[in-house]
Amino acid sequence: MPGISGSLLPVPVSAKAIVLAARPKTLPAAIVPVWTGCVLAWSFAGVFDLALALATVGGAVAIQIATNFFNDAIDSRKGADTERRLGPVRVTAAGMMPPAAVYAAAVAFLGIACGCGVVLFQARGWPIVVIGVPSLFLAYGYTGGPFPLAYRGMGELFVVLFFGLLAVAGTVFIQTGGWPGAAILLGWQVGLLSAVLISINNLRDREEDAQTGKRTLAVRCGPRVALAVIGVELAGAVLAGGGWLACGRPWLALAGLPVVGLGAVIFRGLVTLPPGGAYNRLLALAGVQLLLFAGMFHLLATGG
């Protein structure tokens, strides 16, 4: 199909390349925290503002896509994506998009996120700046800058904090204006399940990352520790459900049931299968697991 041309796009860029770089399969990690946070706000406070919810999810998705574009371009520049790659095609390394176009797309999505942030700031004030500015910076700083988290073995911690605790609690704050402890509990569960995605990705790419200087947790600590971390993430998300007893909503602990079944399948696959295409299927299952958790939480928290 016709490409987009211009000074930043010296070669044609296809829609397929743009979609690949955006990595739509990663977007549940941005959507689920907002979804479940809104459900929690409705369940505990009887509050739901659709306009604020749309601005929140729009900003979260835009930051996620910007992060993916930055990651694609920066990993290619650093030589972290090679012909030995076992995961999906990366468009910069494959020559499907020039680096300038990838960076430009990332900045454009950050602009969209800022637009959503203006709406949220008007509703909730300065806390939105405190939440938003680090999130915007780390879209680049996850793989770029002087201390790239992904290259320092801090990817899982980043996901738990920003795609779990901060995203869920921030969503609840945007809806209600408060910071209930239940939001931290839910954020912990969502963050751990989101971290499973990056942990599988890093375990799959461990050998390539080790050769290209990307010091992920799997590279630093080895495959056995990486497997153990995934086990802790899965078990921790389920066991944390016991905290709903203290919140007076014990039935919400049942939201972890999909994790018990799918988590066992995922972990068994990681233990028995060699890294490769099979890990991509397990990664997809981890994404389904996150969505099923959110769906079960929604049903339990709203009574259907």
Domains with residue ranges and CATH for the chain: 15-302 (1.10.600)
pLDDT of residue 9: 41
pLDDT of residue 10: 47
The CA distance from 201 to 233, in Å, is: 14
Which tokens in the block code for residue 235?
């078990």
Residues of the chain below pLDDT 50: 1-11
Which tokens in the block code for residue 121?
């700031």
From residue 37, alpha-carbon distances to 105, 143, 208, 294 in Å are: 28, 27, 37, 10
pLDDT of residue 81: 61
The CA distance from 70 to 107, in Å, is: 9
- Which residues lie closer than 8 Å to 234 by C-beta, 6 or more apart? 192, 193, 196, 259, 263, 266, 267
pLDDT of residue 86: 60
Residue 31 DSSP symbol: H
pLDDT digits (tens, 9 = 90+) for 112-129: 999 999 999 999 999 999
The CA distance from 239 to 62, in Å, is: 32
With tokens 């995203």, the residue in question is: 167
Task: Check if the beta carbon of residue 280 is closer than 8 Å to that of residue 21.
Answer: no
Q: For the chain, what is the radius of gyration of the CA atoms?
A: 19
CB-CB neighbours of 235 under 10 Å: 16
The CA distance from 263 to 283, in Å, is: 11
The CA distance from 90 to 69, in Å, is: 10
pLDDT of residue 1: 33
Is pTM beyond 0.85? Reply is yes
